[in-house]
Amino acid sequence: MDDPKVALSELAHHLYRKGWMEGTGGNLSLRQGNRIYITSSGLHKGRILPEEILEMTPEGTPLSPGQIRPSAETSIHVALYTILPKVGAIIHVHTPEAVIASTFGQSKLNLPPLEVIKGLGHKNPETAPPIPIFENDLSVETIAENIKLRLEKVRSPLPALLIRHHGTTAWGETLDDALRHIELVEFCFRVIAGSSPLSPPAVLLPAPTHTRGSRTH
């Protein structure tokens, strides 16, 4: 594989150009052996450099502590790598369609039976499991713990999740797999957000008071 730092910085630029990682939003990571490579916090994803990708232990501890900090959502990446040992890459993006889609269910989102779901690992789109929805929280560790507790009990989840009013996280064995998965679930969200006949009209749920606020990704 190419240098993981180069691969992550190039993908961040690509996702920025798509409008999925505007400003400092979103984060990416790769796992190689006993190392995790992750985008830094607070940096513009359209201009992030390879040297601004941090190398960490499997527990999320930076190997070279300094002024550049790992993504604020590092604990979510660590949780997913812990419960999904075959996963080698994780992508988290922010899109308006994901925000809308996250309001279509209380704890899960049933996707419309689109052909693209086959690319998520399920041959029959009619029987694909739902995408789990997690409540946003200013404590990322709380979100990570909820993800870990819930997904480690699911036998065959789709390789993606939603954080309400926030964004999409998808994963795969390789960076290419994770990119394919995020592209396919975002396609489904665009169908939902476009008031397709396959889905009911969107009704925005109020954000719980504990989710209001912001954090640097």
pLDDT of 197 reads 42
Do the domain assignments include residue 216? no
Do the domain assignments include residue 111? yes
pLDDT of 210 reads 52
Burial label, 185 (beta-carbon count in 10 A; 0-12, 13-18, 19+):
buried
Strand 167-172 versus strand 108-109 pairing type = unpaired
In this structure, what CATH number is given to the domain that contains residue 197? 3.40.225.10
pLDDT of 53 reads 95
Sorting pLDDT into bands at 50, 70 and 90, what band is 205?
A: low
Do the domain assignments include residue 217? no
Q: How far apart are the C-alpha atoms of 56 and 191, rounded to whole Å?
A: 37
What pTM did the predictor assign? 0.89
pLDDT of 195 reads 59
**C-alpha distances in Å from residue 34, one per residue of 6, 25, 31, 169:** 19, 26, 7, 22
Across residues 31-53, what is the average pLDDT? 94
- Within 10 angstroms of residue 190's Cβ, the number of other Cβ atoms is 16
Q: pLDDT of 149-204, one tens digit each? A: 999 888 778 999 999 999 999 999 999 999 999 999 999 999 999 854 444 444 44
Q: pLDDT of 82-129, one tens digit each? A: 999 999 999 999 999 999 999 998 899 999 999 999 999 999 999 999
Q: How far apart are the C-alpha atoms of 77 and 56, rounded to whole Å?
A: 11
Cβ proximity of 86 and 80 under 8 Å:
no
Sorting pLDDT into bands at 50, 70 and 90, what band is 68?
A: confident
Sorting pLDDT into bands at 50, 70 and 90, what band is 66?
A: confident
Could you tell me the residue range of the domain that residue 47 belongs to? 4-211
One-character DSSP codes across 151-168:
HTT-SS--SEEEETTTEE
Report how many domains make up the chain.
Answer: 1
> Does residue 22 carry a pLDDT above 50?
yes
